[in-house]
Structure 1
Amino acid sequence: MRRPERMAVLVPVVVMFGLGLWGLDRGGMWRDEAVTFQVALRSIPQIWHLLHSVDAVHGLYYLLMHVVLAVHPGEVLLRLPSVCGAAATAGLVAALGARLRRPRVGLWAGLLYAVTPMVGHYAQEGRSYAMVSAGVAGATLLLVRAVRGATWWPYGVVVAVTCVLHEFAVLVLPAHACTLALARMPWRTWRGWLCAAGATVVVLLPLVLVSRGQAEQVAWLTAPDGRSVERLVREFFGPSRAVLGPYLVLAGLAVWMPWPKRGVSLAGVALPLALVPPTVLMGVSQVTPLYDDRYVLYSLAGAPLLAAAGAERVAGAVGRLRADGRLPRAPYRGGVALLGLLAVCGVLIVQFPLLRADRNAANRPDDLAAVAAAVAREVRPGDPVLFLPSQERRSVLTYPAGFRGIRDVALDVPAAADGTLYGREAGPGELRRRLGGLTYVWVVGRRFALKPSWTPWNPTERAKLAVVNEEFITRKEYVRPGLTLRLYVRREEHGAAS
């Protein structure tokens, strides 16, 4: 790799790494990160036991994080692999642009990727999506190399490992097939790709079969609609109108520019990568809802590549006008690259408020550190606590210090021993017996679970609701975003106190 190409790759890596480290310790994990944290801290046999019943799709990621968190359990180390994954993806996007067009195109694309708010969000998540994006971008670069004469086995290995890291990454295979079709590749090239793709499918098949049996985990998903498409476009091309319009225009210029009759082009790589996985997953989700925008985060890499290619087309047109004497010549040769960098800086300035807001724990769906702090402040050691629903036990699994000494009324078997995420609770009859001997109980619950309209399917959850509503009355309540902490006292006790 020549020096301009190295610089084009290195600068986006450094910028993305800096943005990822900025505000990484935001002071609290939310529920998805909490699952990663508490599962990764289990022993390998306990993780293996868990994967037989739930979260098999994240199995490889949990094992990797088990090794990482063995160094020092904490929020920063939990998120650091995602920062590294995002930085690697920015560099790989730049390498694709440099390899398929020229170094300045790679530099622009890599930097555009780094300053995208959606990228910054998942760069600071203790989940696998940023690492999956790095795997897909690496596989795409290896596809380009293989098409140009390199061996196919590195491509096959990277694709297979990435798909095991998250099985929806397999949708990059039809995107790569579209790239080969657009490039009019000969049968010899197709044969090499089909062998690599087939091997990936064979490796992935056991995971698919196991995860299908755990499909209730994504039962909360709904079929995507037009608003889902609009949201994804904004996340890929810029949430701000000031960014979205020019971004789409540049991407359109890249698509409508003359394509080579044969051979892999930048648009031929970027367009299928950006379009095919989301389109396929949205289509499948009309029948079986499986779509969530984070599952196709890796497709975002196609958007800055298209925009950078469009900017290069504009730069080429301006260069031709200068050569014809219809425009004044640039004062120095690096003027075009500098203008591109200034444009990216403008994008960063416009989207900076979004990036800054994302560094606040309050910008996540919930903050389990705040839950633990509220419990530590209000609940005394030895007090009985009820989690409603049982998933709210994740706060004690993530921040046990805040719950030190409390009595978990419903818990029968701890999560790690039970091979589940939140443990096994007592049956309805036993739970009623335990609650029957209490004069008061604290409830840590979600707001929806404490509303009269909520009807849980689980009999133990129904028993919790029935007992606290029939036999207890609310004495105190503390409400925070994502948390309701209530003190219930028995009705007779309340009447005596009155």
Structure 2
Amino acid sequence: MTAVIVPAVVMFAIGLWGIDRGGMWRDEAVTFQVARRSAPEIWRLLHEVDAVHGLYYLLMHVVLAVPHPGEVVLRLPSACGAAVSAGLVGALGTRLGGRARVGLWAGLLYAITPLVVHYAQEGRSYALVTAGATGTTLLLLRAVEGRARRVWSGWGAYGGLLAVTCLLHEMAVLVVAAHAVTLAGLRVSRRVWGRWGCAAGFAVVVLLPLAWVSSTQSAQVGWLQVPGWRSALRVAREFLVVPMGVVFWVGVLVMLVGVTALRVSVVAVPLMVIPPALLMAASQVKPMYDDRYVLYALVGAPLLVAAGADRMAALVEGLVGRTAGRGRGRREVPQTGDHAGLRRAGRPAPGLPLSRAGASGSSGPGAGGPVALSDALVYGGTGQDAEAGPDGAAGRRPLLSPVLSLAGALVIGLVFLQYLPLYREDHTPASRPDNLATVSAIVHREVRPGDPVLFLPSIARRPALAYPKGFRGAWDIALGESGARSGTLYGREIGAEALRRRLATVDRVWVVAEPYALRGHWSPEDPADRVKLDVLRERFVPEKSRTYTVQGGVTVRLYVRRP
């Protein structure tokens, strides 16, 4: 339990540290303002935009129903999701590595990964999706092993959690491909393949309506670029905790050692590689790739690093044990580890790295049914060493093993301390693309009651939706119908001619503009936005002394009518 609880507690503590960083950025603001609408209003919105986040918005609608919701409440589910993920990584490491220290190290490595820390304080769904994907991986192993009381209840839990995870974000469906590769590596029986196919098929069928609706809203991600080698290197750097350099390549070396532990790598490698690779490949045709969409793939990296460190620690244990044995002048018992245990159990140790447990046959574990993972992969991992007697190497290991476990945890702690400035920077508003609280504060300070405010384009209305107190008393001159009533994110504006007539009645107007909106080369498609630009250029002049540019390039500027 230590390998599960300690990483979860550490992750939760890191997630809470600086969680109220003093401002929401644009994506969080969307979550905040949509989730506070009524359920029917959210449902209406999803038919037009953001269907991919529909279940998350409904979940956050419940969370933000508390009195006086704010940034902490908005981000708390992500901190909890990251903590659950860290605990599940610890459970996976323990199950696959055969030692509690593998789980402990893997869970702690996951908890200190900067990318994980970043999304643990993000008011979006990605940390929760990672928890779901990691949970389905653990349930997959339990179902394959037949550990559930009823076979179908195990596969049912797997299929149910997989469906919920995919509904939280449809890109989570790529974990199905990773699980398929894992099952192929385990060489499970046809019956297991059939049960997995039914469970995974159920999740895919549940996802199909959402996938169809979201495909009609693909213009939302039109800003994504075709990923290249730089994207792959960035993912590798983020997965290995550290930036490029000597420490990075040491991490790569340890990970490669971990790949040789087949019990771990048969699960971790597909999980780490398959989802990003598939999404990058598909994005060569239609750009859909972003690191956060496959954040759950990061789970494989700490498992491999921990497995590699465990193999190195096992070598140290062996050397110390043999040295102690020779020092006593006694004979060392040669049969240790998994093969020794198999011989004592009366089973020969085959030469293949993976047994055929679970393949078709008349006897043996998994014949015609679930396969025990320990039987399927026992020859590829380190396993729990059998006792070789008081004078052998294994007899010395119980004393050395806790020391090595603690030493590994301390090394991880040193890595955390080394990158403490990076974490501190990430816990500030400057770590996000923009800070809508700053815009709202400027408007609250500068705009007089009754002054007209013009948002250019309409998406620049985000600060007013996230922090409405700052805009209280101002006149949103272009707004015709609110977002909640119109079923849109930012509201529906009045027509171009009606807007021209309204602007003709005012002598001053405050403009809140996106970074590109006031550049001369921008040509908006929306007629109302074209009227905004034309009237501002023809009838108004800016007051440079009343111009404010904030983080992210958003501009707040006063325009007055030409003499």
Query: Which residue does 1:351 correspond to in 2?
Result: 419
CA offsets per residue over residues 68-88 of structure 1, 9 Å max, x none? 000131110100000000000
The one-letter code of the counterpart of 1:312 is D
Output the CA distance in 2 between the equivalents of 1:251 and 1:50. 45
Task: Go from structure 1 to structure 2 and tell me whether the alpha carbon gap of 1:12 and 1:133 turns closer, same or farther (over 3 Å shift).
Answer: same
Q: Hey, what's the Cα distance between the residues in 2 that align with 1:247 and 1:37?
A: 38
Superposition deviation, residue 103 in structure 1: 0.7
Match among 120, 141, 144 for residue 144 of structure 1: 141
Using the TM superposition, give the Cα deviation of residue 417 of structure 1 relative to its aligned residue in structure 2, in angstroms. 0.2
Per the TM alignment, residue 242 of structure 1 is displaced from its structure 2 partner at its CA by 5.1
Name the larger-Rg structure.
2
| Contact preservation (8 Å) 2:460, 2:513 | yes
Is residue 462 of structure 1 aligned with residue 459 of structure 2?
no
Greater than 4 Å deviation, 4+ residue runs: 326-332
CA distance in 2, matches of 1:283, 1:299: 16
- 1:237/1:243 contact within 8 Å kept: no
The structure richer in helix per residue is 1
> Do the aligned partners of 1:243 and 1:347 also contact (CA within 8 Å) in 2?
no
Q: Which residue is 1:478 aligned to?
A: 548
Matched, 1:256 2:260: yes
Picking from 289, 299, 302, the partner of 1:301 is: 299
The answer for the alignment partner of 2:6 in structure 1 is: 11
Q: CA deviation at 1:306?
A: 0.6
Trace 1:248-397 onto structure 2 (pairs within 5 A).
248-257=252-261, 259=262, 265-325=263-323, 332-397=400-465
Specify the alignment match of 2:17 in structure 1.
Answer: 22
Q: Counterpart of 1:371 in structure 2: which amino acid?
A: V
Match of 1:100 in 2: 96
- Encode CA deviations 1:266-325: one digit per residue, 9 max, x unaligned: 111111000000000000000010001000001111110010011011111222222322
CA distance in 1, matches of 2:82, 2:444: 36
Among 191, 208, 212, the alignment partner of 1:209 is: 212
User: Percent identical across equivalent pairs?
Assistant: 58
Aligned to 1:187: 190
Query: Over residues 207-251 of structure 1, what are the superposed CA-to-partner deviations in whole Å (9 max), with x where a residue is unaligned?
Result: 001101111111111110111111111111123335422221111
Q: Which residue of 1 aligns with 2:346?
A: none
Note the aligned Cα RMSD (angstroms). 1.4
In structure 1, the residue matched to 2:76 is 80
Query: Given the alignment of the two structures, is residue 247 of structure 1 paired with residue 243 of structure 2, yes or no?
Result: no
Task: Give the Cα separation in 1 of the matches to 2:550 and 2:214.
Answer: 35
Q: Residue 448 of structure 2 aligns to which amino acid in structure 1?
A: R
**59, 68, 73: which one pairs with 2:63?**
68
Q: What does residue 262 of structure 1 align with?
A: none
For structure 1, the residue ranges without an aligned partner over 5 or more in a row are 1-5, 260-264, 493-498
Distance 1:242 1:40 in 2: 45
When residues 159 and 419 of structure 1 are mapped into structure 2, their CA distance, relative to the original with a 3 A threshold, is same
Report how far residue 416 of structure 1 moved. 0.4
| TM-score normalised by length of structure 2 | 0.84
Report the TM-score, using the length of structure 1 for normalisation: 0.94
Counterpart residue type for residue 362 of structure 1: A
1:157 aligns with 2:152: no
Moved more, 422-431 or 157-166: 422-431
Deviates more, 1:91-100 or 1:468-477: 468-477
Q: Secondary structure at the match of 1:474?
A: strand
Q: Does 1:111 align with 2:73?
A: no
SS of aligned partner of 1:138: helix
1:3 is matched with which residue?
none
> Is 1:50 equivalent to 2:45 in the alignment?
yes
AA partner of residue 294 (structure 1): R
Q: Does 1:173 align with 2:169?
A: no
Unaligned ranges ≥5, structure 2: 149-153, 328-395
Q: Please give the per-residue CA displacement for 1:182-216, whole angstroms capped at 9, x wherever unaligned.
A: 11111111111100111011100000011011111
Shift, 1:332, TM fit: 4.2
**Cα distance in structure 1, aligned partners of 2:295 and 2:414:** 23
Counterpart code for 2:204 = V
Contact 1:254 1:309 in 2 (8 A): yes
Residue 562 of structure 2 aligns with an amino acid whose one-letter code is: R
The equivalent residue for 2:128 is 131
How many angstroms apart in 2 are the aligned matches of 1:24 and 1:59? 24
Code of the residue aligned with 2:63 in structure 1: it is V
SS in structure 2 of the partner of residue 54 of structure 1: coil
Cα distance, 1:338 vs. partner? 1.2
In structure 2, what is the Cα distance between the partners aligned to 1:136 and 1:210?
Answer: 23
Shift of 1:430: 1.4
